[in-house]
A = this chain, B = another copy of it.
Amino acid sequence: MALAGRLVDIHTHVYLPRYCSLLRSRNTVPRILTSSHDGKPDDRLLILDHEPSGGRPVGPQYWDRDEKIKFMDRHGIDLSVVSSANPWLDFLPASEAKTLASQLNEDLEQYCSESPQLSPSLKRLYGFGLLPLVPEISIAALLETVEQIYKLSYLKGIIMGTRGIGKGLDDEALDPVWAALEKTGLVVFLHPHYGVDEKAWGDKDNGHVLPLALGFPFETTIATTRLILAGVLDRFPSLRILLAHSGGALPQLSSRLASCIDHDPVVASRLSHDARWYLGKLYFDAVAYGPEELGFVSDVIARSARFGSGSPATLDKTVDRTLGSKRMLFGTDHPFFPPLQSTEKWKSVVENLQAIDAVSGWGQAEKEGVRGDNALSLFNLV
């Protein structure tokens, strides 16, 4: 395969200039607070209620395509599938969200189409589009936007938060949207923003650590579990859903989930398969920062085949974790998690690359798969 050995980043964000203008014009979160410190601009991004530490410092790495390419060059990343960062359009009224989604999808198409060539047939940048997933939007408007994204050559999927049109992703009103996404083959990148209720974090100052390290993965775990419990993966078996942060806590809680389902009269026998089976239908980014985590996620994917209805569940054989690697894809979370001190390479990126390299039981083919080949295949970039 001509492109073997490519490094592809499928978890990398942008606030497009049009979106930044909106954030700068706002008085409430999400917003960019523009000020200066000693004559230098000191812009701060505030995306969460009660943002700790006065917000994150933001600069051109959040919106400038040249900065994205520089970051990629510095870390040896050949190709990136870029997505708008949270909270997307969640805070907008329906009509505004629809218009802005459409404009931002066009903007991202241009952002990608004008990026350097990687090869005669490939650009260095592709993108995940946005749907106007907000309360009171019409399903027709969502379907129109799916169609728009499908027609834009450089957009290969959509990024989605967990609130749907206000009631979460287990809302059956979304069924036509899932159907359209399944039919078009667009990859759905499921990404958190809200975490869980902040009362859980207590009153000590721990900066962003608790909402980011725990709240984000919890939210992804809840949303995916609710998708499973609502039968979405039964009704739309060809949906291609990519989970941020390696699925959060879902892999580690998946056998507990299966057991709780088995023991609850309300849900027992509602699903077509054991809960663990559905994890083998999902894709997981490899943004977990440790080789043991990645190896475990690949075990959980690999074992899923044992749990289809009708499969005799056998626990007595070691799973082949090379199989699970096929659904895992390298990502960086750029431009978030910048190093506190200036360094040539970002620690967060180096750690995720080292983690892939150090997974016990993965050979060269699995590692190259996770580094890039799986992404090229998932996004049909050949």
Binding site for B on A (CB under 8 A): 52-53, 167-168, 170, 196-197, 199-210, 212-214, 217-219, 221-222, 225-226, 229-230, 245-246, 248-249, 251-268, 276, 288-293, 295-296, 299-300, 303, 315-316, 318-319, 337-340, 347-348, 351, 354-355, 357-358, 360
Contact = CB atoms under 8 A, between A and B. Distances in A.
A208 B260 contact: yes
A199 B197 contact: yes
A219 B196 CA distance: 11
Nearest to A257: B213
Contacts of A276: 290
- In the complex, the 9 A-B pairs of residues with the closest C-beta atoms, listed nearest first: A207-B266, A255-B290, A249-B249, A197-B197, A255-B289, A213-B260, A207-B264, A296-B296, A318-B360
Contact of A355 (B200, B248, B255, B296): B255
Contacts of A254: 290, 293
B197 A210 contact: no
Nearest to A358: B315
A303 B292 contact: yes
Given A253-B217, A355-B255, A360-B318, A229 B209 contact: yes
A123 to B, nearest CB: 30
A206 B267 contact: yes
20 contacts: A200-B218, A200-B222, A201-B222, A202-B226, A208-B264, A212-B264, A213-B259, A214-B253, A217-B249, A218-B218, A246-B252, A248-B252, A249-B249, A249-B253, A254-B290, A255-B288, A255-B351, A263-B337, A265-B340, A316-B358
B212 A260 contact: yes
Given A259-B337, A340-B265, A358-B315, A204 B229 contact: yes
A37 to B, nearest CB: 15
Contacts of A260: 208-209, 212-213, 337
Contact of A52 (B221, B251, B266, B340): B266
A226 to B, nearest CB: 6
B200 A196 contact: yes
Contacts of A204: 170, 226, 229-230
Contacts of A222: 200-201, 210, 214
Contacts of A258: 289
Contact of A213 (B209, B253, B303, B340): B253
A96 B208 CA distance: 38
Most chain B beta-carbon neighbours within 10 Å: one of A52, A196, A337? A196
A257 B214 CA distance: 8
A209 B267 contact: yes
